Structure 1
Amino acid sequence: MNRKTLLLPAAAGLLTTALTGCGSSDGSGSDGAAVVVGITDHIEATPSAPAPLDPAQAYDTPSWTVMHNAFQTLMRLPRSGTEPVPDAAQSCGFQDKQSEQYRCTLRPGLKFSNGHDLTAADVKFSLDRVRNINFKNGPASLLSGIDKVETPSERVVVIHLTAPDATFPSKLTTPATAILDSEVYQGKGLYKGFETVGSGPYSMEPEVKDNRLVKAVFTRNKNYQGTLEPKSDKVEIRFFDDSEALEEALSDGEVGVVPKGLNADQIERLQAGEVKGIRISGSAGQAIRYLGFNTDAPVVRDKVVRQAIAHVVDRQALVRDAYKRTADALYSMVPTGTTAHINSFYNKYGEPSIPAARRLLQHAGVQTPVKLTLAYSSDHYGQATTKEFTSLRDQLNGSGLFQADIKRVKWTSFRPAAADGKYAVYGMGWSPDFPDPDNYVAPFVGKKNFLNSPYHNSTIEDQLIPATRQKAQRSLAARDFQRIQDLIAEDVPLLPLWQGKEYVAYRDGVTGTEYIRDSSSMLQLWELGRGASA
């Protein structure tokens, strides 16, 4: 999610309304009813962000979850694996050795859910539109490498890049590149509200209350042309207030699948088999949590202060106390399981050491205790976030080197305030746009970065990232990515904290849960089906 400010599987609690009714009594969609998915995500239209399901605005995991199932892209990720495959395209590929010209031929007979024809002109319109609207905190940065888009015929699209970019096919799998109907969407204005018109495997009907999405009903799109075969004609996503309401709905049979939103205590209880008829599976995740620093803020402008924080923070204690080990300590912005990962922060700072932090600050002449405020949002990242930041505060204050406070802020205020530089230190999460180490570093440095951070490193921006993008065989870029990780550990514009694990709870009779996420953690609702109850 990116992108995307992730919502983590072990951290629940958002602001939407729980629903009852629709769907079968066991949540599994028997007798032709919907397979019901329950989550605690939050999708809201606000004056500053009025179009949460518009590809030009949306850049968060919850919105992308909905869009991923309702829109079609030129490329998509396969059921499992990381190599993009054609979606709306019949074929795609670079036309030059420099990876600067990308050509796609569309499938014949493509149509949108409203029956309108989908042509190369709609693809060009959609890609140009995201870049032209250039919504603040939106996904336009993913397409910043496009120079121009041409349409030699109704089924052919040629995308010219400003520089080589071997990751470009992966970027075309993201909802930022969703193909829109140019007869419905405006070229320079956002499509406000929650309606969608796409060509994906499902069409989506929203149910809204107080400008929040409370239910999304996905119905098989009869006009869909592609290789996906939905296992159910109808799937619903229902949004719950908190993890307690979500677990109750799962236990009562109102919900059949919970792919995220349960807290650590609930996961522990379900793993112990305390709730009859419910199973839970876990796997390594690629979503991460980190601290962001406004490197222009006086209190953390000196990187020595940021390095001292890196010496003090005890990640193992954090995941033990706040998340009951439903997450793993993380020592790089590139998570484990991703090509080129190395433990750069551990290599530089080792185990938590107050004496090492004290020596660093004393040598630099920094007066202690350093006063800090750690800002965070629990309504977006879940109830356990308060425990996490309380623990971080106590670790820093326990060193005697810092005088830290914590500040909880509602997400709708937190995100724009962080981007405007209002917080010196703040907590953020990241779920990958696509499964490549590039997506864990490039969005956070340079001009128009995701955080609007003032941090710049010319070696990373002008040398290393461009070099990695010239290597189509991604393993050959590992050395450059490892150097990037070391430079981030040296400068500490970001401090990685932990890497989430992914859990799926489901009722007997629901099938396809093993494929519910692709390699970028996006939900694949079309994989869910109904089978005989165990």
Structure 2
Amino acid sequence: MTQTRMARLLRSRGQQRPWQAAVAGAAALTMVLSACQSDGGQGGGGDGGEGGDIIIGTTDSVPTLDPAKCYSYYCGTIIDNIGSTLVSYKPGETTPSPDLAAEEPEISEDGLTYTFTLREGVTFHDGSELTSEDVKFSLERALNINHPEGAAFLLEGIDSVEAPDPLTVEITLKEPDITFGSKLAYNVATILPSDGEYTAPDEKLPDDSTDDTYEKYVNENLVSTGPYTLEDNRQGESIELAAFGDYFGDAPKNSRVLVSFFDKSAQMVTALKSGEIDVAFRDLTPEQRTSLENDDSINTIQGEGASIRYMVFNTRLEPFDDPDVRKAFAAAIDRDRIIDEVLGGAGEPLYSMVPPSFDANVPAFDEQYSDKEPSDFIDGKVELDLWYSTDHYGPTEPPLAETLTRMLEESGSFEVNQKSSEWAQYTSNMAPGPTGQYPAFLLGWYPDFLDPDNYIQPFYHSESSFLRMYDNPEMDQLIRDEQTAEAADSEERMRTFEEIQRIAAEDAPIVPLYVSIPEAFVRSDVEGVQDTMDASQVFRYYLIHK
């Protein structure tokens, strides 16, 4: 296996049904890839396919590799390629299938108990064998750590997890949840070895725990049962993965993957054009995309749009404690202008948090505000701070904030102060509840599972929302109604979703902006990327090869 290119580089979720129905630049990348010709790593990787080594460039960031803490796109991508869950999405499918589970679960008549039978002979990267105790430990660990930056809320419906024998897991819910099977496919439910280096509190940590309390349980040395082992993690520079020789599924079509993090998208474009990297994925400016589209040595792969962008208001803080201010903001937004000026056309207007690809979508914001002006709701001029992250959503984020500022100020009803911070500070200061310091801030969402509920509960439920800045008992009841419906696509459930979206537009605690259309740019000798650009938004490294 040749080391030349890797040596230079290293330095530097359609609608599903439930079962019951950064680098400085290419010239500086000079460090030798560790153990490239050996069987290094926790699981003896390097036994993948004949598709060579793949180098993937991104301007995204990975704040953590602990499933209990991860809740952003690219840390989820890395965990998805190293970890395994009871169920997962196969390429091109929108219904989860058994993964570590040997078959679909048995579900009790009351819809509360899911009984899984595990695959036999599955091995963790540390050499230990998977048992039901590992599943129990992993799910309870995520729930008990209850990390404020994580996605434990997806598992909060669990009442108990039992392991009656080494290959049987019984998960009992507090109440029926038509989406529960799909939630188990999210990386917060990644299965970890219970007898290894991972630790967990005996009970759920209180919501007001200190950062030190949460962090003492976080483990960045990810060990699971997935197709790759974690070989090296250089924060902000690179992550190296090796094919796991004892993986229970089909072997990866490549031997190793190096993910290289770039500070600037222009550097990533240069690296791709020169052949220093094989794939550029997230994020490029419209001008850079056009440049690559015109390069004969580069192929453009466009995926299905399921990720969305939106503006959040802390309804407990001025001026957004006034619903009329929120409505005036909604009336000022020109989504087509955002897509043209910021995205170069690579987006779709979003008039509900539920994307238009779902049958349940109702364009309620268009219906309620298309013929309105901000002055219909407020008199005079409102001053507001508009926050965005400088290092999380790619190079289009400052232009997005600038375009929003211009359209708000051009309405004559707003005076906008643009403010920004790095992602670590950003996530801390936008914290749920009245202590959040940001009254208005931009966020993005990548679906945890492919159901309209995943665009509703995480934002609008008073207790289980990760935002927790909106309290409406009627909304809480409607969410419970759609989650306990008899079928995912029943007429009753669709009517409930319609009512939810109309209330959401009327109260406007969040203003949806657009659906992102994902694009990957790959060297002409690279294949397999097109097979993973599906609605699940899971970027599967193991399909990519030369």
User: Whole-Å Cα distance in 2 between the matches of residues 73 and 331 of structure 1?
Assistant: 33
Amino acid at match of 1:207: N
Aligned match of 1:64? 76
Contact 1:296/1:454 (<8 A) preserved: yes
Aligned match of 2:513? 497
Aligned partner (choices 188, 193, 200) of residue 226 of structure 2: 200
Aligned length in residues: 492
**Partner secondary structure for residue 260 of structure 2:** strand
Aligned partner (choices 340, 343, 368) of residue 363 of structure 2: 343
**Cα 1:341–1:32 shift into 2, 3 Å:** closer
* Structure 1 residue 259 displacement after superposition: 2.7
* Structure 1 residue 30 displacement after superposition: 11
User: Whole-Å Cα distance in 2 between the matches of residues 372 and 93 of structure 1?
Assistant: 50
**Cα 1:221–1:507 shift into 2, 3 Å:** same
Contact 2:24/2:267 (<8 A) preserved: no
Aligned match of 1:409? 421
Aligned ranges 1:405-484 → 2 under 5 Å: 405-419=417-431, 420-476=435-491, 477-484=493-500
* Structure 1 residue 115 displacement after superposition: 0.9
1:79-105 deviations in Å (ceiling 9; x for gaps): 112111000110132422332111110
TM-score (norm 1): 0.88
Runs of 4+ in structure 1 deviating by more than 6 angstroms, as ranges, are 29-32
Q: Percent identity?
A: 32
* Structure 1 residue 414 displacement after superposition: 0.9
Contact 2:478/2:500 (<8 A) preserved: no
User: Whole-Å Cα distance in 2 between the matches of residues 409 and 347 of structure 1?
Assistant: 34
**Cα 1:190–1:205 shift into 2, 3 Å:** farther
User: Whole-Å Cα distance in 2 between the matches of residues 431 and 31 of structure 1?
Assistant: 32
1:10-39 deviations in Å (ceiling 9; x for gaps): xxxxx5555635689xxxx99864111111
**Partner secondary structure for residue 517 of structure 2:** strand
**Cα 1:158–1:57 shift into 2, 3 Å:** same
What is the Cα-based RMSD across aligned positions, in Å? 2.1
* Structure 1 residue 449 displacement after superposition: 4.2
**Cα 1:443–1:464 shift into 2, 3 Å:** closer
1:257 matched to 2:270 = no
Contact 2:388/2:441 (<8 A) preserved: yes
* Structure 1 residue 192 displacement after superposition: 4.4
1:235 matched to 2:257 = yes
**Cα 1:205–1:18 shift into 2, 3 Å:** farther
Contact 2:105/2:117 (<8 A) preserved: no
* Structure 1 residue 475 displacement after superposition: 4.8
**Partner secondary structure for residue 322 of structure 1:** helix
1:358 matched to 2:370 = no
Contact 2:352/2:364 (<8 A) preserved: yes
**Partner secondary structure for residue 104 of structure 2:** strand
* Structure 1 residue 482 displacement after superposition: 1.7
Contact 1:418/1:451 (<8 A) preserved: no
Aligned match of 1:11? none
**Partner secondary structure for residue 281 of structure 1:** strand
* Structure 1 residue 518 displacement after superposition: 4.4
**Partner secondary structure for residue 361 of structure 1:** coil
Contact 1:148/1:160 (<8 A) preserved: yes
User: Whole-Å Cα distance in 1 between the matches of residues 83 and 25 of structure 2?
Assistant: 26
Contact 1:292/1:425 (<8 A) preserved: yes
Aligned match of 1:224? 247
Show structure 1 runs of 5+ residues with no match.
1-5, 7-14, 45-51, 363-367
* Structure 1 residue 452 displacement after superposition: 3.2
Aligned partner (choices 361, 368, 383) of residue 371 of structure 1: 383
Contact 1:141/1:448 (<8 A) preserved: no
Contact 1:334/1:341 (<8 A) preserved: yes
Amino acid at match of 2:160: K
Between 459-468 and 287-296, the greater mean CA deviation after superposition: 459-468
Show structure 2 runs of 5+ residues with no match.
1-12, 14-21, 37-47, 202-214
Aligned match of 1:268? 290
User: Whole-Å Cα distance in 2 between the matches of residues 136 and 154 of structure 1?
Assistant: 32
User: Whole-Å Cα distance in 2 between the matches of residues 133 and 302 of structure 1?
Assistant: 35
User: Whole-Å Cα distance in 2 between the matches of residues 126 and 401 of structure 1?
Assistant: 50
User: Whole-Å Cα distance in 1 between the matches of residues 466 and 218 of structure 2?
Assistant: 24
Amino acid at match of 1:423: Y
Aligned ranges 1:167-206 → 2 under 5 Å: 167-184=179-196, 185-188=198-201, 190=216, 192=218, 194-206=220-232
TM-score (norm 2): 0.86
Amino acid at match of 1:293: F
Aligned ranges 1:14-25 → 2 under 5 Å: 15-18=22-25, 20=29
Contact 1:164/1:466 (<8 A) preserved: no
1:40 matched to 2:86 = no
Contact 1:57/1:190 (<8 A) preserved: no
